[in-house]
Structure 1
Amino acid sequence: MENTLVDKTFRDSNGNIVLAQKPNLPLIVWILTSLLALIFTTGKVNTALDVLANGSLFTWAWLELFQGINYFRRALGLLVLIGIIAFKLSSSNGLNN
């Protein structure tokens, strides 16, 4: 099989096209804590859920960025990391104004 940019971008080491995978632990934790934060909307529980959600999503994105099985998954990790940082910066600026 040729090793073209398209192959490196979308195929894994077995030659399968991979765009999505079953969720791993950090992604499952992010989903659960984000849903629970919708129920517990105030107080220390909400703060703890927010920290866990952001930490687990950051962990997932970091793992994808450096251990993703193809360039698409690595780019997805980078985009999520940038999105987390941008969202946190914009929400913290809103609190200061």
Structure 2
Amino acid sequence: MDQGRTGTIRRGFDWIFRDRTTGVITIAQWPNLPLWLFGGLTVAAWLAREAGSLATWLTIGADLALAWWALDEVLRGVNPWRRFLGAATLAGLIALVALRRSA
């Protein structure tokens, strides 16, 4: 690979993954409160799957926690990758909720 092409790839990688505040490469981060809530509520909904309305409410809570995380990433993500990840998660969640409603 020639030097110009390597530099272009490096600049593209930096633009996508470099944290705008700290300057470090940020692809994933330790889960924050909304993701912990999503994980906990998802497990609780799975365990309560035979409990009917309880499982439904836990699933709604999990969906809201994931939407909170996704919107936060779209609005305040530290780099384009994190913003894209939030947008893709939000789109997937909307599709999932729509599928659940149609079933």
Q: Unaligned 5+ residue runs, structure 1?
A: none
Listed one character per residue, the Cα deviations across residues 10-49 of structure 1 (whole Å, up to 9, x for unaligned) are 0012221101101100000000000011110132221221
Aligned to 1:22: 30
Hey, what does 1:45 align to over in structure 2?
A: 54
Q: Percent identity?
A: 35
| Count of paired positions | 91
Alignment of 1:58-73 (within 5 A): 58-73=67-82
Query: Structure 2 unaligned runs (5+)?
Result: 1-10
CA RMSD for the aligned pairs?
Answer: 1.2
- Structure 1 stretches (4+) deviating beyond 6 angstroms? none
Question: Normalization by structure 1: what TM-score?
Answer: 0.87
- TM-score, normalised with respect to structure 2: 0.82
Larger radius of gyration: 2
Q: Structure 2: how far apart are the matches of 1:14 and 1:39? A: 40
